[in-house]
Amino acid sequence: MKKIKHQDILKIFKHADKPLTPKEIYSLFGKKKSIQKRIKHILKELEQAGKIIATGKAFCLVNKLPVVKGILEVQKSGIGFVLPEDKRRKDIFVLPENFEDAWHGDTVLVAILPKSRGKNPEGRIVRVLKKELKQLVGRVKRKVGKNTFLIQPTDLRLKFCILVESEIDLKPQTLINLKPTHKLEPFLWHGELIEILGTENSLEVQEKLVKINHQIPTKFPQKVLEEAANLPMHPTDKDFKNRKNLTHLSFVTIDGAKAKDFDDAIYIEKKDNGYILYVAIADVSHYVDFGSSLDKQALERGNSYYFPLSVEPMFPKELSNGLCSLNPNVNRLVIVAEMKFSTSGKRIKEKFYPAVIQSKFRLTYSQVHLAIEKQDPEEQKSIKPILPMLQTAYDLAKILNQNRSARGSIDFDLPEPEILFNFQEDILEIKPRLRYFSHQVIEEFMIAANEAVAEFLEEKAMPFLYRVHPAPKEEKLENLFKLLKSTKLATKIPKDTSPKDLQTLLKQAQNTNLAFLVNRLLLRSMMQAKYSPINEGHFGLASMSYCHFTSPIRRYADLVVHRALKKALQNEYPRKKKINKLKKLGEKLSLLERKAMEAEREILKRASVLALKNKVGEEFTGVISSLCDFGFWVELEEIMAEGLVRFSSLTDDYYTFLPERQELLGKRTGKRYTLGQKVKVRLEKASLETLQLDFTIC
């Protein structure tokens, strides 16, 4: 008899017209104990996966019940939404009293209630299928017994407390890592102490907190480390077979000063009829076989995770900082996108091939900025052999940037924050990230390579993951346009909503007092980019075909594209069934990317509160970045942080919030507070507990 599989048991449930007991299922396969043991094991796994659910002594197929399976997403206000597994369904609104034992992130079954509030159906959670949080970080509130302490979760979406026993005397405000064990009362759980993290006023401890709460992997399994250790220190002669030898070309890497993984290098030549650009990307797929332990772990992580003081890489350092990092003056295996451009910047020819290169210089953005833009003699002298090549790179990048702008690519004029920590002086600052045209040079070349690869794979009909960016929702754009009707830009509102039209609107707002408002609201109207085997185009870049090819060390999606490219170059025939697998893979990688972004946003918020904890009472200037019916947020200029001015602190008048005009209006004085308006504020409170900065108007 063939081995019983999960699908065999699921088929039985699908054809049954009632719930089935284990005995009823056993009877269909015989009386052997080994078979019954196998069935019992499968039933347990199907229940854990949320495919079936126990109802008394029997099991039901979840899909046959009048419930919806999904993931509970709790907001900081306390309300929740269940995001259905079936993407065709609307999100289901759930009140806190209907959560049962479910927490944020849990996989649940939700019953739809007959009443409904707003646009979404309302539901009640009837079963938790999978607890997402195995560990969490808590803040010690107080001692409540001889060795018992009351702990509050640091995740504001978890609205309960935990009792933990500890022989060590835990001081209030200490952060600990704990494992929740069982429920004691409706809002009280028992937990086991795993680790004392330390004082909450430490950036290092805050990083640990974010990693635990977002379940970011910090250790590689032993099998993965063994596979990495078994790789050679350097490429061998055997690896060079069927590769172009480009070690004679002066490839360079240009990255941030703190970067340790260099997965892209460039080289460029000026020709009479245009330019030849070589973009060399680390050939990670040469060392990481599909289905290997390294590959499975990289897929589980999805991408590398970057923090102010540390990095959790997608691959062990033997690969990410060594064998697959294009370090200077060593042979490295790469996949090259060689592109020929006309003098006007039009790509007229491209080819792709495996090669071996030797980066001649490890350059930083600021170094190139000083040498090319500032004409600094010392920097020019230090990189003299490649100075003409870098100047050529600037020339082509400017042309490519102009062409991209002409087709409607949208570039937002909003500063990016950078967390700076001085260990010696223990000073934490959050400043606007310095940005030079040297950054733009690399961006333009990477965009060109990504488009060229996507178009090539499309022509070859090879399934792969596009990087797609859907057009913004009309409703959000209409709200922005309504707001602009009462401003100086009323006559500049576009009739169409193509990337080109929206880019023109941004240019019209540039250097005016409406620049912040237009940039911020237009950015908020944008959809989130994602990975998909179905091409929807990239709205933000105004690109018809786009993919991620240039960072396989830190993004699994790029590794998928590399494998597809290699197959296409070998003229392998694509499998039709692959699209569904790629679709699921794209959804998974998009979720993991969002996980990284959420962790990055949280550590930024925590760092900003830490940076301002000792500045309570000080005054700052800032810009109103958002308004709502209980106050408005101000983004500071001196330090990149955002805090709240509450209505209750405005004592000079009664204010009304006018959402259609994005402003607050004083009833007596007629005083206005509008989006993008400059204000002077005083810091009243900086709380790590609520992750909130409270301001008052000066």
End-of-domain residue from the set 14, 36, 63 = 63
Work out the angle at residue 302's Cα, subtended by the Cα atoms of residues 361 and 325, and round it to the nearest 5 degrees.
Answer: 15
CA dist 688 and 608 (Å) reads 10
| Structural domain includes residue 75 | yes
Q: How sure is the predictor about 57, in pLDDT bands with cuts at 50, 70 and 90?
A: confident
Tokens representing residue 547 in the block: 């993919």
Whether the per-residue pLDDT at 173 is higher than 90: the answer is yes
| Structural domain includes residue 506 | no
Count of beta carbons in the 10 Å neighbourhood of residue 247: 15
| Structural domain includes residue 209 | no
Work out the angle at residue 651's Cα, subtended by the Cα atoms of residues 648 and 657, and round it to the nearest 5 degrees.
Answer: 60
- pLDDT at residue 6 in the model: 87
Closest CA to 508 of 492, 532, 528: 492
pLDDT digits over 221-244, tens only? 999 999 999 999 899 989 999 999
pLDDT digits over 285-332, tens only? 999 999 999 999 999 999 999 999 999 999 999 999 999 999 999 999
Whether the per-residue pLDDT at 656 is higher than 80: the answer is yes
| Structural domain includes residue 211 | no
CA dist 227 and 224 (Å) reads 5
Whether the per-residue pLDDT at 1 is higher than 60: the answer is no
The mean-pLDDT minimum among 341-355, 575-589, 590-604 falls in 575-589
Tokens representing residue 24 in the block: 């009823």
End-of-domain residue from the set 81, 102, 130 = 130
Specify the CATH number for the domain of residue 637: 2.40.50.140
Closest CA to 606 of 75, 215, 200: 200
Count of beta carbons in the 10 Å neighbourhood of residue 119: 8
Place of tokens 């907001």: 75
Whether the per-residue pLDDT at 526 is higher than 60: the answer is yes
Tokens representing residue 698 in the block: 């000066």
- pLDDT at residue 576 in the model: 64
Task: Clarify whether residues 117 and 143 are in a common domain.
Answer: no
| Structural domain includes residue 185 | yes
End-of-domain residue from the set 130, 157, 173 = 130
Task: Clarify whether residues 376 and 401 are in a common domain.
Answer: yes
Cβ–Cβ under 8 Å, residues 181 and 165? no
- pLDDT at residue 29 in the model: 83
Task: Clarify whether residues 437 and 572 are in a common domain.
Answer: yes
Work out the angle at residue 180's Cα, subtended by the Cα atoms of residues 164 and 589, and round it to the nearest 5 degrees.
Answer: 140
B/e letters for 297-332, b = 16+ CB within 10 Å, e = fewer, are: bbbebbbbbebbeebbbbbbebbbbbbbbbbbeeeb
Task: Clarify whether residues 417 and 356 are in a common domain.
Answer: yes
- pLDDT at residue 116 in the model: 64
- pLDDT at residue 511 in the model: 83
Closest CA to 407 of 592, 209, 242, 543: 543
CA dist 107 and 517 (Å) reads 38
Specify the CATH number for the domain of residue 31: 1.10.10
CA dist 622 and 680 (Å) reads 6
Task: Clarify whether residues 283 and 396 are in a common domain.
Answer: yes
Task: Clarify whether residues 38 and 179 are in a common domain.
Answer: no
| Structural domain includes residue 243 | yes
Counted domains in the chain: 5
* C-alpha dist (Å) from residue 78 to 91, 155, 553, 626, 644: 16, 12, 38, 21, 19
- pLDDT at residue 27 in the model: 85
Average pLDDT taken over every residue of the chain: 92
- pLDDT at residue 575 in the model: 65
Task: Clarify whether residues 651 and 668 are in a common domain.
Answer: yes
Interaxial angle between packed helices 499-509 and 515-525, expressed in degrees from 0 to 180 and rounded to the nearest 10: 160
Tokens representing residue 505 in the block: 């609107």
Q: Per-residue pLDDT averaged across 426-449, rounded?
A: 93
Beta bridge partners of 543: 538
Q: Per-residue pLDDT averaged across 458-470, rounded?
A: 95
* C-alpha dist (Å) from residue 129 to 29, 60, 147, 186: 27, 13, 33, 19
Task: Clarify whether residues 142 and 250 are in a common domain.
Answer: no
Give the pairing of strands 161-165 and 148-153: antiparallel
Could you give the residue ranges of the DSSP H alpha helices within 214-364?
Answer: 222-229, 293-301, 317
- pLDDT at residue 514 in the model: 83
| Structural domain includes residue 516 | no
**More confident position, 485 or 397:** 397
- pLDDT at residue 483 in the model: 81
Q: Per-residue pLDDT averaged across 411-440, rounded?
A: 86
Task: Clarify whether residues 188 and 238 are in a common domain.
Answer: no
pLDDT digits over 629-640, tens only? 889 999 998 888
Task: Tell me the HSE value of 206 on the side-chain side, using a 13 A CA sphere.
Answer: 24
Containing domain of residue 90, as a range? 66-130
Tokens representing residue 216 in the block: 């970011």
Place of tokens 């195995």: 134
Whether the per-residue pLDDT at 264 is higher than 60: the answer is yes
- pLDDT at residue 516 in the model: 84
Task: Clarify whether residues 295 and 438 are in a common domain.
Answer: yes
| Structural domain includes residue 177 | yes
Q: How sure is the predictor about 118, in pLDDT bands with cuts at 50, 70 and 90?
A: low
Task: Clarify whether residues 233 and 299 are in a common domain.
Answer: yes
Task: Clarify whether residues 191 and 232 are in a common domain.
Answer: no
- pLDDT at residue 424 in the model: 73
- pLDDT at residue 666 in the model: 92
- pLDDT at residue 531 in the model: 98
**More confident position, 517 or 622:** 622
CA dist 667 and 654 (Å) reads 6
Report the share of the chain in percent with pLDDT over 90.
67
